[in-house]
Amino acid sequence: MDSIWVQGGKRLEGKIPISGAKNAVLTLIPCALLTEEKLTLGNLPRLADVDSFSHLMNELGVATAFAGRKAGEHSRKITLDASEIASTVAPYELVRKMRASILVLGPMLARMGESTVSLPGGCAIGDRPIDLHLRALEAMGAEIELAEGYVKAVAPKGKLPGGEYSFPVVSVGATENAVMAATLCTGETNLFNAAREPEIVDLCNCLVAMGAKIEGIGSSHLKITGVEALHGAEYEVMPDRIEAGSYACAAGITGGSIELVGARAKDMLAITNALVATGMLTEFTTDGLKITATDKLRPLAVSTAPYPGFPTDMQAQFMSMMCMADGESYFEETIFENRFMHVPELRRMGANIDTRARSAIVHGVDKMTGAKVMATDLRASMSLVLAGLVAEGETEVLRVYHLDRGYERLEEKLAGVGATIERRSGG
């Protein structure tokens, strides 16, 4: 099995190109199920999750074609052709690999009048029930049945009529499923307390490009007027704000300076505010955003929250960076109850972190040392790579398949700004 080896102690400086957003593209791919015409997505990242989702789409009868000169280039595209859907069942064997697979439920139900999807898998970062997905679809007229590990949804009259639903808590995935399903309803759908993440905006903009009628994009109240059919489109995936934030932390933890080429600052306000609070300099450039560490990192207090709050997907990376801060930093995790699994591994490298329930206090240390560490989920694995960049000696990060789910060409990008990092194949 592959592992990532990092020799710490190098100050990182240079430019890193930011890829298309993982959390956006996994929402845009199932949009193809809503139309008989082709959907082409540009700025496609080369990620294990994209491959897994493509295989799932193939299983449903969707033809997929990739184009592009090299991995990671903005020219890389995927064209999806769902003119003929061969199956409305998403099987456990494919769905278990990735939680985002549940996002085929809404669009397939809307177009085909029925959909059966295995209960999903994904990172082990806590309980992430899909009840809000199902309640929203029920509010639009779906009949839902749970049996033998599968969700079966049916539109009694072949088409969902639409309706109103107010999410009791903000849910990104449930909002995405509901929005896609609502585009083909026979009537109007109003979603209240909807998620406002930039990836939701990207989804809505793609659907509008396909002919959907959506009002309130970017707000917590989405009004979707159903149309008879959607058409094909070409659409560019937004840049990955979490990848950009992760590499900003790489600049911070190594005392470096990195320009995030292609990063979209307007999507990263909570992240950049936190970077500034640590004493780092953020500059807008013609190509993106430049992050520079100017002095010893100042301690930070953050609490994760739905957008526009501080993203839970950046908590682990900032915690790793704050291990080198001058003082005590405080973290509160409000989204997932089991997202501190990187803490024991950081402690193995010399971090001083106290945890209690969903809060953590990070006591800054003078140095960290390399060690063999185990990745437990996608963002936790990145936090360990970041720690390895500053640790004395060599760090080996195991289970790098987590990294491959969400970071394109990680070793190449970090090596390009001065890191000593490589992937090695195990026995």
- The answer to whether 22 is annotated as binding is yes
**Is 123 assigned a catalytic role?**
yes
- The answer to whether 403 is annotated as binding is no
- The answer to whether 379 is annotated as binding is no
* H or E element at residue 390: helix 378-390
Annotated catalytic residue, options 31, 123, 204, 323: 123
| Contact (Cβ atoms closer than 8 angstroms) between residue 240 and residue 267 | no
- The answer to whether 96 is annotated as binding is no
Q: Are strands 328-332 and 359-363 parallel, antiparallel or unpaired?
A: antiparallel
- The answer to whether 313 is annotated as binding is yes
* H or E element at residue 143: strand 143-147
Helices (H), 20-150: 22-28, 48-59, 92-95, 105-112, 131-139
- The answer to whether 326 is annotated as binding is no
- The answer to whether 99 is annotated as binding is yes
- The Cα–Cα gap between 172 and 384 comes to 26
The letter for the amino acid at 15 is: K
The structure tokens 């294990």 sit at 48
- The answer to whether 23 is annotated as binding is yes
Q: Looking at beta carbons, which pairs linking 361-364 to residues 24 or more positions away fall under 8 Å?
A: 361/328, 361/329, 361/330, 361/331, 362/299, 362/319, 362/322, 362/323, 362/325, 362/328, 362/329, 362/330, 362/331, 363/328, 364/297, 364/299, 364/322, 364/323, 364/324, 364/325, 364/326, 364/327, 364/328, 364/329
Residues making up the binding site for UDP-N-acetyl-alpha-D-glucosamine: 99, 128-132, 313, 335
Residues making up the binding site for phosphoenolpyruvate: 22-23
Residues making up the binding site: 22-23, 99, 128-132, 313, 335
Which residues are catalytic, by number? 123
